[in-house]
Chains A and B, each alone.
Chain A
Amino acid sequence: MSVSPETAGAGVAALGLRREAEGAAGALPPLLVAAEQLAATVQMGGHGRRRAGPGEEFWQYRPAHSGDEARLVDWRRSARADQQFVRDREWQLAQSVHLWVDDAASMRFSGAPEGRRARPAKAGRARLLALALGVLMIRAGERVGLTGPLAPPRPGRAQLLMLAQMLSAEEDAPDYGAPDVAGISGHARAVFLSDFFGDLGAIEAALGALADRGVTGVLLQVLDPAEEEFPFDGRTIFESMTGALRHETREAGDLRARYLARLAERRDRLAGIARAAGWQFSTHHTGDPAQGALLWLWAALERGAR
C-alpha cells in the first residue's frame, strides 16, 4: 500500500490539531468540570441590589430634582403628567467575594476512603463547593478571588481557571489551618470553608478584624460523618493527620459521649462568633450531597447582600 505525500501531510496536520485540543482540554481541571456541573444545578436569578443605582435594569420613575441632568428626564413618562420624571435604574454592583478553603492536613481526612460507600476527603468537598460557588458568582458577574494575596478577586471566566489551579495545588500543611485575612478589601464578602478543628481564637480574631472592615460572609464547617459519630471501640491510638498529635485510649467507645459534647460545644462557639460578626454558620457532612450545601451557600450570600 502506497501513501501519497498529500495524504501524509494531512495526517500530520490532524495529529497536531488533536494534540492542541488535548492540551486545551487539560487546561480545564477536573475540579472545574465538577464545579461547573454542580453549579449548573442552581437556578440563576438577578443579582440586583434592590435599590436605585447604576445598572441596566429599570428600577423606578421618580420626580426630577434640581440637579438632574435634562438628558436623564424620561420624556415619554413626563409627557403624561405635569412634572418631569427621571428613570432610575437598579444599582447593579459587582461584589468581591473572597474564598478561603482550609488546606490543612486535617482536611485530607475521609472516614471511608474506598469501598462501595466511599466518601471524598473533606478538602475535596470544600474545594468543590468553593469552586462551584465561584462559578455561580462569576456567572452573576461578581468578582471572585481567594483570601490570600495570590489570587485577588477578578471577574471573568479566566479567573475560574486560576481559582481551579490554586485550589487543586497540594502542599504540605500543618494539622490545622487559619484564614489569612490581610488581602480582603473592605465591604467585600468572604466564604470560609474548613473543619474548624484548629484554634478558635484565630478564627475569632480574623472575623473580628473583618467585621471592622465591614466584611460579611459565611462559615461552612465541613465534617466527615465519622467525625460526627465517633464510631470507634476498643483499644485505640488516635493520631492527627500529620502524626503530631496522638491520644491513646483503652476503650474508645467510652469517649464517644464526651467527644460529641465537645464537638457540639465547639459548634456553638463557632455559631456565636459568626453571629457576633454578622456572619452565617452552618455544617456540611461529606456523606451528604454537595448540592444542598451549595444552595445554602448561595442563599446565605444572597441573604447577606440584602
Chain B
Amino acid sequence: MTLIGPLGFSTPWLLLGLVALPILWFLLRAVPPAPIRRRFPGVALLLGLSDEEVQAERTPWWLLLLRMAALAAAILGFAGPVLNPVTTGPARGPLLIVEDGSWASARDWSRHIARIDRALSEAAAAGRPAALLSLSDPPPVAPSFAPAADLAAGLPGFAPKPWEPAATLPPLPAGDFDTLWLSDGLAREGRADLAAALDARGSLTVWQGGGPVLALGPAKIDEGAVTVPLVTSAPLTLPIEVAAIGPDPAGIERELARETAAPGATELRFELPPELRNRVGRFEIAGLRSAGAVSLTDDATRRRKVALIAGGTAREGLELLSPTYYLDKALAPTADLIEGTLEDVLAAKPDVIVLADLAEIPEADRLADWLEEGGLLLRFAGPRMAAASEEGDMFLPVRLRAGGRSVGGTMSWGEPRGLAPFPEGSPFAGLEVPPDVAINTQVMAEPAPELAERTIATLADGTPLVTRSRFGQGEIVLFHVSANAEWSSLPLSGLFPQMLERLAISARAAAPEAGDLAGTTWVPQKLIDGFGRLSGAEEAAGVPGEELALAVPGPKTPPGLYVAEDRAVALNALARGRVLAPAEWPAGQVIEGDAAPVQMPLKGALLALGLGLLLLDALASLALSGRLRGARAGVALVALAIALGAMPQGARAQETAAAPEATMPELRAIEAASNVVLATIATGDAGVDRVALAGLEGLSATLAARTTVEPSAPMVVDLETDDLALFTFIYWPVTADQPAPSPRAYAKLNRYLRGGGMILFDTRDADLAGMGTATDAGRRLQALAAPLDIPPLAPIPPDHVLTRTFYLLQAFPGRYEGTIWVEDTPDATEAAEGMPFRNLNDGVTPVVIGGNDWAAAWAVDTNGRPMLPVGRGQAGERQRETALRFGVNLIMHVLTGNYKSDQVHVPALLERLGQ
C-alpha cells in the first residue's frame, strides 16, 4: 500500500490514468452535443435567420469540467483509496503496560482487559518481558518486568479503582522499554509529564476508549426539586437516563424515579414528593457501570419533616415574640415544616416534633409511641414550662426545678451568662461559640447522677443549657431556654441553626465545610467500588471530619457514605469541582482504540460521486440540447432533488411551527361576549360532552325562566383557541382519561381564575373519593388541577354565601348528593350580629369542586324535558329542583359576587337612612 499523507492506495498505478485527463479534455471539446432534427413547416419563415449568440461549436467548459471530474472520481475510486490505513511495525524490548484504572475506565473495562490481554499474548509470543502499572493504585516501588504469560494469569483480578490517579509521577522501571498506555480518556494534571517520561524511554502507544465520559455530581435541593449535576467530558449527543434508587416502603431497594437528560443538558431535575425524596439513596446513570455514574445522597438531599408546635395561641402582630418564629426561620430553608396541633401532626409521622414552651402535652400516649419508634422530640423551655414544671412530665430528659432562673435581668445581680465551649463527645463538639450569645433566663435541672452525661451543652457557669436522653428508639432534647429571644440571644445567633443541624433536625444546604464537620469522626457505612457497586464497609477506619470535608476521593478516603451519629455525608467518586475534559495527547502520538481515526475505505464513496456526476452530466446534456422541456424537466428536477437528499420537508415543518397561534374566530367571540354564556369543556368523551351541554342548556332555561339572567345558548370552550375572558362560568366534567390542556391553556386558565372567572369541577363520582384518589376521575382531577392557581379549599361551610345568593339552600345535589369544596374562608371573622352567618365580604370562590354530576340533573332534551332520571319518584324530582336551584345560586354567585353577604349591613343602612 502506498501512502500519500493520511491516504493510502491499494492499486496506485491506476492513478496514472489521471494523466490521460488532459487528452480527454481536447477530445471532448471537439465533440459538441448532437443537434435534434425537427420537422417543422414554419422553417420557411426561419430561412435566413442567423444565431444571435456567437458561441463556439464546442462543448461548454463547465460540462467538460463535470465530465472530467466524473472520470477523475472513477479513476481515484478504482485506485482503492483508504483514509487512515492501519500500519503495524515490529517491536522489541520489554513492554510496560500503563493502565489509568480509574472509575472512568470502568465503563470499557472489559475492552481494557482484552487489549491488555492481547498485548500480553503478543509479548509472550515475541518473548518480551512485560510489567503492568496501574496509575490509580501505584505500587510503592517500580514494577519489575516479568514473563508476559505470568502477568496474563493475574489479569482477571485486576479491577478499576473508584478514584482517579494522583498527579504525581509513579515509579518507573529502569532501562528502555516500549509502553502501551490504556487511558480512560480524561485530561488530568500530570498526564503530559508522564507521557513525556514514557516517551523518553521508548515508543509510546496510547489506547483510548471512545465516547464522552459521564459522571454525576453531588445531588442538592434546589427550589423543592433535587438537582443532580451531569458532568461530561464532551457535550452529550444522545439522551441518557438517570435513575433515583432507594428503598421502597417495604425496605427493598428499587428504582424510585427516572429522568431523561436531553442532549446538551448539564443537570437533571427530579421533582419528587418529600417522602420519596428522603428515601433516595443514590442516583445512577442507567446502564453505565462506573463509580462516577453513581451519586450517593446524604443529608443535603434529605429534608426532615419537622412539626412545630407552640404553646398557646399566636398573638397576632407580635410575630417576633412568637415561640416558633426563629425556629421557623432557621428550619424553613432546609426542612419541611408542619404546623398544627399535636394530634394532627402525629398523623403525618414527622421526623422531628418541636414543642416550643408547651407544658401540658395532650395525646401523651401517642407521642410516647411515636418516640418509641424513633422520633426526635425537641423541646424548648419558656414561661409556661417554668411555671408548670412539676412531676409527671415524662417527655423531659432531666427533671426540672420549679420556676426558672433569671440571671442578668433588671432585678438580678448576675451578669447574663455566655456559653461554655462544647465538650468532646457532644454532638455540638467543634462548633465555634460566639462570645456575644448571652443567656438571661433558663430553667434549671434537678441535680441527678445522670445529669452530667445527659448534658450536651452548658453555660459558662456549668449549668446545663441543652440536655438529652434516649426514649425507646427515639430521643428527647431539651433546650433550657426559650425558642424566642426573650430568654436569650441564642436564637438570634448563627450558632442556633448550626446546633439544629448538628442535631440532624435541619439538613445541610450545601457541601459540608471543614468547620461543619470539625470535631467529629466519620465512619464509612457504604463504599463504592470502581464499577459503581455499593458494598458494606464494616472494617474501614473512621475519618476525622476536618479531613473528610476537604477529602478528594483516593485510597485513604474511598468514595462512599460516611456516617457520624445521625448525620451522613456522601463522598462521591467524582471529586468536588472536578471538570471533565477529553485527554489531549502530543501531536504525532500513536493512538489506538475508538479515539483513533478509523480506517476508512473511500472507494465506494468516490465511485458513487463519479456516478452522480455522470447523472448530472446526462441532465446537463439534455438541457443543453433542448430536450429537457415541460414535464420531463420537472421529473428531472424532482429526481435531482431526491438524489441530493434535499427534501424540503424540514423547512416546511418549521414554517408551520412558526405559524401564528390560533385565535378565536371573531363571530364566536362576538357571540360569547354579547351575553352571559355558560360554557363547558370538551372532555373527549362524546356522551359526557353531550350531557354537559344539555345540562347547561337546562340551567340556562331555568335561569331565563326564574331570574333576570337570560343566558345565550351554552358553548363548548376550546381552551387552546378561545379567549376565556369572555366566559363567566365554565363547567368542567372530569373524566378518567381526559387529556391535559397545554401549558399555554393553563396560563389562560390561571389568568381566567385570577380575573374572576369560576370553574365548576365535577368528578361525577358521587364524591366517593372524598377529594382523594380513590376514583379515576378524582385522580385525574388532581392531575388536571395541579398546575392551576387554586387557593386553599375547604368543604363548604353552612354559612357560605352560595347558600343564599338566590334560593336558601343547605344541600347542593346533582344526580348525587355529596359535599362540595370551595375556597377556604379566613378564620378570624366573627358572626354578624343578629345574622346566622359570619361577616365575610370578600372574594368569589374561583373553583367549586364536587362529584354530584350536576349536568346530568340539569340536562334537558330538545323538548325541554329532563334527559336523565334523578333519584326515585317525587323525592327525585325534589332533588332535581334543588340541583337546579344550586345552579341558579352558583350563577348568581358568579355574577353578583358577595352581594348577598353585604346584606348583613342592611339593618345598619336602614338605620342610617332613617336618620
- Interface of A toward B, CB cutoff 8 Å: 106-107, 109, 122, 175-176, 195, 197-198, 224, 226-227, 230-241, 245-255, 258-259, 262-263, 266
Contact = CB atoms under 8 A, between A and B. Distances in A.
Q: Which residue among B45, B47, B629 has the maximum number of chain A CB atoms within 10 Å of its CB?
A: B45
A259 B49 contact: yes
Contacts, number: 108
Contact of A239 (B32, B34, B38, B626): B38
A235 B33 contact: yes
A224 B33 CA distance: 29
Interface size class for chain B? 20 to 34
A234 B39 CA distance: 15
Contacts of B627: 234
Nearest to B35: A235
B51 A236 contact: no
B40 A235 contact: no
A46 B629 CA distance: 51
Given A249-B51, A251-B51, A254-B51, A197 B42 contact: yes
A259 B32 CA distance: 25
Contacts of A263: 42, 45
Given A232-B626, A245-B44, A237 B51 contact: no
Interface of B: 32-47, 49, 51-53, 55, 57, 623-627, 629
Interface of A is mostly: mixed
Quick one: which of B40, B45, B55 has the most chain A CB within 10 A? B40
A176 to B, nearest CB: 7
A126 B899 CA distance: 93
Given A232-B626, A245-B44, 20 more contacts: A106-B41, A175-B41, A227-B42, A231-B629, A234-B33, A234-B35, A234-B624, A236-B36, A236-B37, A236-B38, A240-B40, A245-B43, A245-B47, A248-B35, A249-B46, A250-B51, A252-B626, A255-B49, A255-B51, A258-B49
Nearest to B36: A236
A238 B629 contact: no
23 contacts: A106-B41, A107-B41, A109-B39, A198-B44, A224-B41, A232-B626, A234-B33, A235-B624, A236-B37, A236-B626, A237-B37, A238-B38, A238-B46, A240-B40, A240-B41, A240-B43, A245-B47, A248-B35, A251-B52, A253-B626, A254-B52, A259-B45, A259-B49
B275 to A, nearest CB: 75
B701 to A, nearest CB: 63
A250 B36 CA distance: 10
Contacts of A255: 46, 49, 51
B41 A227 contact: yes
Nearest to B41: A106
Main secondary structure of the interface of B (DSSP, over half): loop
Contact of B41 (A109, A248, A252, A254): A109
B57 A237 contact: no
Contacts of A106: 41, 44
Nearest to A242: B39
Contacts of A240: 39-41, 43-44
Which of B35, B37, B46 neighbours the largest number of chain A CB atoms within 10 Å of its CB?
A: B46
Nearest to A261: B45
A246 B43 contact: yes
Contacts of A236: 35-38, 626
A176 B52 CA distance: 28
A262 B44 CA distance: 10
A246 B42 CA distance: 10
B463 to A, nearest CB: 111
B36 A235 contact: yes
Contact of B39 (A122, A195, A241): A241
A14 B79 CA distance: 82
Contacts of A238: 38-40, 42-43, 46
